[in-house]
């Protein structure tokens, strides 16, 4: 992808994303009357907004960097931060899907009953563990990639073939592959979690609606409508994350094989995928979460008044 095309696509995405982030932060901090949002859902939504805000800020930095000379270490750091924030949101979506699955679908197995009783502790503990794995993978990959970066032109073939340098490069390559494998595993697990949890929740609610229709009951209670709305938009979020997550998994595999530099040397394709998915994710939250939906309606009414 050409730099000008990346800037042309990403600039409006950054602007729109930042506007929605500010609106949602306001709605979350000052919810309208009648809307209650409790932890851990509130915590996860705050993390989503924080990650999304910093992701768009770093993407804006990468666009500004196109105007100046190439700086290898700064480019490496900005790419790593974008991956960090994007994958952090990917993880939050997976935990939100688990939270709704446990809350909506009746649990009969002992292990799921235990998870439902201890969902807060499990979610916070799992979130911290996932963040440690992600930070390790991203930071290790960035540092080793930095050391494996462009070789100085004044290096001779003899220096490159020296035993000490060869051992250093081999150690760096090993750490780089470990980081890529950790990153690959990290990106694969949330994708499977999103698809399975939202899918099961959807099929449960669809079966529940059929039973109510057969018994002559009406599916018009606000809580049931809200559950179906959240579930459907959750599946849309999983669909939105599918292309970018598959690209991320493919990128990790290409990194391991050493082919990624030929496919996306500037990382513009990857960062564009991240921008598009994050904006779609924000819009889905704006529709599914009443704290955002009703909050924006309240803001619009105040502006009109």
At residue 188 the predicted structure's pLDDT band, cuts being 50, 70 and 90, is: confident
- pTM of the entire predicted model: 0.81
> Of 122, 140, 238, 253, which is closest to residue 190 (Cα–Cα)?
238
Q: How far is CA 111 from CA 15, 104, 107, 197, in A?
A: 44, 16, 9, 16
Biggest alpha carbon–alpha carbon distance for the chain: 84
Asked whether residue 154 is domain-assigned, the answer is no
Residues in the chain: 305
> Of 75, 58, 97, which is closest to residue 236 (Cα–Cα)?
97
Instruction: Return the pLDDT at 245.
Output: 67
CATH number at residue 61: 1.20.1070.10
* Number of independent structural domains in the chain: 1
Asked whether residue 29 is domain-assigned, the answer is yes
Asked whether residue 300 is domain-assigned, the answer is yes
Element (DSSP H or E) covering residue 283: helix 268-288
Asked whether residue 153 is domain-assigned, the answer is no
Asked whether residue 171 is domain-assigned, the answer is yes
Poorest-pLDDT segment among 10-14, 181-185, 239-243: 239-243
> Which residues constitute the domain of residue 220?
3-148+159-304
Q: How far is CA 177 from CA 137, 144, 254, in A?
A: 10, 9, 11
Q: Are 275 and 246 in contact (CB under 8 A)?
A: no
Asked whether residue 108 is domain-assigned, the answer is yes
Asked whether residue 52 is domain-assigned, the answer is yes
Asked whether residue 265 is domain-assigned, the answer is yes
Over residues 139-178, the pLDDT tens digits come to 887 777 776 655 444 444 444 455 555 556 666 677 777 7
């Amino acid at each position: 992808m050409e730099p000008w095309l990346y800037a042309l696509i990403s600039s409006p995405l950054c602007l729109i994303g930042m506007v929605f982030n500010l609106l949602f932060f306001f709605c979350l901090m000052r919810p309208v009357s009648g809307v209650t949002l409790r932890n851990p859902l509130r915590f996860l939504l705050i993390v989503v907004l924080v990650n999304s805000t910093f992701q768009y800020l770093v993407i804006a930095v990468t666009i500004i960097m196109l105007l100046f000379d190439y700086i290898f270490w700064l480019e490496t750091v900005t790419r790593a931060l974008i991956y960090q924030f994007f994958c952090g949101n990917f993880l939050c979506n997976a935990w939100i899907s688990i939270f709704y699955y446990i809350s909506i679908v009746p649990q009969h197995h002992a292990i799921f009953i235990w998870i439902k009783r201890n969902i807060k502790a499990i979610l916070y503990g799992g979130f911290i563990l996932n963040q440690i794995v992600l930070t390790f993978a991203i930071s290790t990959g960035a540092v080793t990639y930095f050391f494996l970066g462009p070789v100085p032109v004044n290096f001779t073939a003899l220096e490159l073939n020296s035993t000490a340098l060869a051992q250093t490069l081999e150690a760096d390559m090993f750490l780089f592959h470990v980081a890529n494998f950790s990153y690959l595993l990290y990106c694969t697990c949330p994708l499977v979690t999103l698809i399975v949890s939202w899918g099961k929740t959807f099929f449960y609610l669809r079966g529940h609606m059929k039973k109510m229709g057969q018994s002559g009951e009406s599916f018009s209670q606000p809580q049931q409508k809200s559950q179906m709305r959240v579930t459907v938009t959750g599946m849309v979020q999983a669909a939105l994350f599918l292309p970018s997550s598959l690209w991320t998994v493919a990128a990790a595999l290409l990194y391991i094989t050493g082919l990624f530099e030929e496919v996306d040397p500037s990382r513009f394709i990857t960062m564009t995928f991240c921008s598009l998915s994050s904006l779609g994710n924000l819009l889905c939250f704006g529709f599914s979460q009443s704290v955002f939906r009703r909050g924006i309606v309240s803001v619009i009414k105040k502006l009109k008044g």
